[in-house]
């Protein structure tokens, strides 16, 4: 199997992070990419760099207004007297009307769901490289590869069409799914990250050509809180094309696999031509976020179950934070897919 990686993704090195109101080091660090890349190489995967693809892959799933914002907001922010080094929103408009603020501060509030997606001078280029990584992996699968692994960082599944959030800027899994649609009438996205893939759900919520499934810690007491509940099933044409499987905190391998079996049965019934796996490794029992209790061998069980679908698959890296077993968890999954 090939894996796609771009060094320029590492230039994004966010500092700001709030946890329960306290400022802490941001856990979405470049070292994550080093650990995951080492594990992929040790597993014998062949590394390839993504081709330059311009803005088209992200423009296929994000609004022009949002792309323009991400590209220019850091420079605009620096012109504000006394502004922070990274762009951090200080206003959070829950219910946005049609009006679009002219000011940098207003737009940061409009386009940033929370404070865990700070924007530095390097963020736009790194996030675009991450999207290109997913796009290139989709191209490999369209070209006949059975599966390809996109080592994406920053991650993407909390990013909506016009909204960053939760360490995410461009929705890499969405970019890959949209690319696969060029060849396949129906595509499914299976998100196994600890956190609900709210941005991915949002991108396709009113569409029936992309089936979105997420297995995650129950948002009733866990990020992203406002999405990820079992009664969110899609809207309009997309009704019935979104499936959320929230799990109680500390659910282990057996509970996770039971939910996965439900997910796989629904994906099979949707009859997609290809699959995107939004691979968070933070459901691990030793992950710093501590939400679920999947073990290292549990990731191999997960991959083995998914492989039974027999679908060409783009594996897109989402979360999974620095801990001793991070590389082993990736190897466990990729070795069994
Ligand atoms: Zn996560």
Cα 193 to ligand 1 centroid, rounded to whole Å: 5
Reduced to 3 states (helix: H, G, I; strand: E, B; else coil), residue 19 is strand
Cα 172 to ligand 1 centroid, rounded to whole Å: 14
Q: Is the pTM of this model over 0.85?
A: yes
Half-sphere exposure of 317 toward its Cβ, with a 13 Å CA cutoff? 34
One digit per residue, pLDDT tens: the chain, 337 residues?
Answer: 999 999 999 999 999 999 999 999 999 999 999 999 999 999 999 999 999 999 999 999 999 999 999 999 999 999 999 999 999 999 988 788 889 999 999 999 999 999 999 999 999 999 999 999 999 999 999 999 999 999 999 999 999 999 999 999 999 999 999 999 999 999 999 999 999 999 999 999 999 999 999 999 999 999 999 999 999 999 999 999 999 999 999 999 999 999 999 999 999 999 999 999 999 999 999 999 999 999 999 999 999 999 999 999 999 999 999 999 999 999 999 999 9
pLDDT value at residue 124: 98
- Maximum pairwise Cα distance, the chain: 57
- Please state, in angstroms and rounded to a whole number, the distance separating the CA atoms of residues 264 and 310: 11
pLDDT value at residue 308: 98
Ramachandran region, residue 327 (left: φ > 0; alpha: ψ -120 to 50; beta: rest):
alpha
pLDDT value at residue 97: 82
CB atoms near residue 223 (< 10 Å): 21
Distances 172 to 16, 23, 216, 236, 263 between C-alpha atoms, Å: 22, 27, 18, 24, 21
Helices (H) and strands (E) in the chain, counts: 10, 10
CATH class of 2-13+24-52+121-334: alpha beta
Cα 99 to ligand 1 centroid, rounded to whole Å: 31
Q: Kindly list the domain boundaries of the chain, sorted by start residue.
A: 2-13+24-52+121-334
Annotated catalytic residue, options 158, 184, 195, 216: 158
Q: Establish whether 158 is a catalytic residue.
A: yes
pLDDT value at residue 98: 83
Cα 216 to ligand 1 centroid, rounded to whole Å: 9
Cα 150 to ligand 1 centroid, rounded to whole Å: 16
Cα 282 to ligand 1 centroid, rounded to whole Å: 6
Cα 296 to ligand 1 centroid, rounded to whole Å: 16
Cα 1 to ligand 1 centroid, rounded to whole Å: 24
Task: Determine contact, residues 53/159, Cβ cutoff 8 Å.
Answer: no
Burial class of residue 34 in the structure, from the number of CB atoms within 10 Å of its CB (0-12 exposed, 13-18 middle, 19+ buried): middle
């Amino acid at each position: 199997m090939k894996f796609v990686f771009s060094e320029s993704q590492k230039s994004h090195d966010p500092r700001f992070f709030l946890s329960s109101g306290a400022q802490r080091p941001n856990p979405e660090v470049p070292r994550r990419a080093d650990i995951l890349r080492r594990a992929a190489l040790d597993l014998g995967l062949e590394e390839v760099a993504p081709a330059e693809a311009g803005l088209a892959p992200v423009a296929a799933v994000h609004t022009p207004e949002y792309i323009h914002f991400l590209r220019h907001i850091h420079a605009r922010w620096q012109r504000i007297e006394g502004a922070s080094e990274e762009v951090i929103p200080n206003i959070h408009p829950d219910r946005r009307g049609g009006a679009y603020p002219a000011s940098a501060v207003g737009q940061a509030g409009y386009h940033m769901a929370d404070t865990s997606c700070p924007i530095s001078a390097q963020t736009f280029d790194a996030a675009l490289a991450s999207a290109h990584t997913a796009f290139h992996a989709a191209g490999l699968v369209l070209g006949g590869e059975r599966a390809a692994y996109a080592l994406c960082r920053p991650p993407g599944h909390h990013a909506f069409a016009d909204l960053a959030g939760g360490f995410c800027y461009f929705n890499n899994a969405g970019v890959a799914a949209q690319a696969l649609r060029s060849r396949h009438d129906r595509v499914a996205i299976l998100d196994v990250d600890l956190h609900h893939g709210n941005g991915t759900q949002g991108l396709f919520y009113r569409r029936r050509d992309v089936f979105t499934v997420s297995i995650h810690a129950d948002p009733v007491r866990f990020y992203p809180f406002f999405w990820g509940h079992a009664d969110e099933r899609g809207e309009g044409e997309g009704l019935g094309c979104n499936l959320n499987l929230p799990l109680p905190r500390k659910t282990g391998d057996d509970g996770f696999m039971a939910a996965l079996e439900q997910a796989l049965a629904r994906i099979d019934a949707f009859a997609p031509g290809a699959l995107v796996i939004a691979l968070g490794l933070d459901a691990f029992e030793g992950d710093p976020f501590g939400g679920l209790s999947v073990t290292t061998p549990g990731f191999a069980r997960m991959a083995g179950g998914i492989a039974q679908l027999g679908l060409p698959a783009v594996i897109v890296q989402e979360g999974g934070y620095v801990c001793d077993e991070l590389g082993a968890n990736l190897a466990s999954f990729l070795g069994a897919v």
